[in-house]
Amino acid sequence: MDLLWQQPRRNTLVTWPNDVDQRLDILVRAAVAAGEQTSRSQILAALVATAEASPEAVADLLHAYRRLPTDALAADNERPDLPTIRTPGPTRTQ
């Protein structure tokens, strides 16, 4: 059986706030804590592939995101309960 996650890849440029980028790292660390071997790109692909694609659901997601205060993700910036991971490639600057 062919699996979606094993299909040919396409690079995508994403720009977003630093706190959102840090949140993605937290999600990777949470997956690793659950015993998963994964990457930032797999987390993003999983979120996109499993999101509901109805206009109302997408609009609700956008509205919820756009209403988040600037400190909405601050509590997750430091998560000593999650493992530290080293990502391959050059270190991202903040």
Enter the pTM of the model: 0.83
Q: If you average pLDDT over every residue of the chain, what do you get?
A: 90
Banded model confidence at residue 93, pLDDT cuts 50, 70, 90? low
The rounded distance, in Å, linking the Cα atoms of 54 and 59 is: 9
Which tens digit of pLDDT belongs to each residue from 12-39?
999 999 999 999 999 999 999 999 999 9
Token pair listed for 77: 């910036």
CA 14 to chain centre: 11
Q: Is 42 exposed, middle or buried (0-12, 13-18, 19+ CB in 10 A)?
A: middle
Model pLDDT, residue 66: 97
Which tens digit of pLDDT belongs to each residue from 61-79?
999 999 999 999 988 777 8
